[in-house]
Chain A
Amino acid sequence: AQKITQTQPGMFVQEKEAVTLDCTYDTSDQSYGLFWYKQPSSGEMIFLIYQGSYDEQNATEGRYSLNFQKARKSANLVISASQLGDSAMYFCAMRERTSGSRLTFGEGTQLTVNP
């Protein structure tokens, strides 16, 4: 079974608007961490934001926030005030306590920001 599911292969948003990228996960661990990475067309993987399973508050980092709904096993990334430079592939990933240090990635969502 897929551990990380990103159901949106592609998303479009107008510049300056907010966009939500969906991520659902599947784990039987009580302790896990969720990460979002950005991969622009240049190819590098850039860490954006982290949410721990026991964190009571949703993580925020600048224009990025994570809408964490533990009961639904979802960890959606919200990008506010989109910029043209936000156009990239976005990956959701999970680390489970029982899986050591490995990250399991979703298939990614290609975000395009239109001017």
Chain B
Amino acid sequence: DTAVSQTPKYLVTQMGNDKSIKCEQNLGHDTMYWYKQDSKKFLKIMFSYNNKELIINETVPNRFSPKSPDKAHLNLHINSLELGDSAVYFCASSLRGGLKETQYFGPGTRLLVL
């Protein structure tokens, strides 16, 4: 009965590799997000999609490319991984609605770049 799911949960890879993280939500939400949590636990938004349209694109290296095939899925592809990409990546979803629309988070993907 998972609301927001992410795969994989753990990802260990070498510098220079390309990897993808997948996210799916079954809450019927129309907006999805990617957040990055660094080693100091600081959470920062990276991207947001509403109904497959990119609406937030923070200052993120263009090695990061989100893709939303439909409003229930949002994937994150990372090219040429660097050591500094090591972090926990969270997917979240919400209704676009008003200010009070709560964002529900997935379990996170722990990425370690060696």
A 62-107 contacts with B by CB, 8 A: 89, 91, 93, 95, 97, 100-105, 107
Q: Are B107 and A101 in contact (CB under 8 A)?
A: no
Kindly provide the distance from the CB of B21 to the nearest chain A CB, expressed in whole angstroms: 15
Residues of B within 8 A of A37 (CB): 105
A107 touches B40 (CB 8 A): yes
* CB of B64 closer than 8 Å to a CB of A: no
User: Do B40 and A47 touch (CB < 8 A)?
Assistant: no
Binary per-residue interface labels of chain A (19-57) against chain B in the complex, 1 for a CB within 8 Å, 0 otherwise: 000000000000111010101000111110010110000
CB pair B88 A43 closer than 8 Å: yes
Chain A residue with Cβ nearest B41: A108
By secondary structure, the A interface counts as strand
Would A101 and B56 be within 8 Å (CB), given that A31-B99, A44-B105, A44-B108 are in contact?
A: yes
Q: Which residue of A lies closest to B92 (CB)?
A: A45
Name the residue on B nearest A33 (C-beta): B99
- State how many angstroms separate the Cβ of B97 from the closest Cβ of chain A: 9
A50 to chain B: closest residue by CB: B100
List 11 additional A-B contacts (Cβ < 8 Å) besides A47-B103, A105-B42: A33-B99, A37-B105, A39-B41, A44-B106, A45-B105, A89-B41, A100-B56, A101-B50, A101-B56, A107-B42, A108-B41
Chain A residues close to B by CB (< 8 Å): 31-33, 35, 37, 39, 43-47, 50, 52-53, 89, 91, 93, 95, 97, 100-105, 107-108
B residues sitting closer than 8 Å to A (CB atoms) are 31, 33, 40-45, 48, 50, 55-56, 88, 90, 92, 94, 96, 99-108, 110
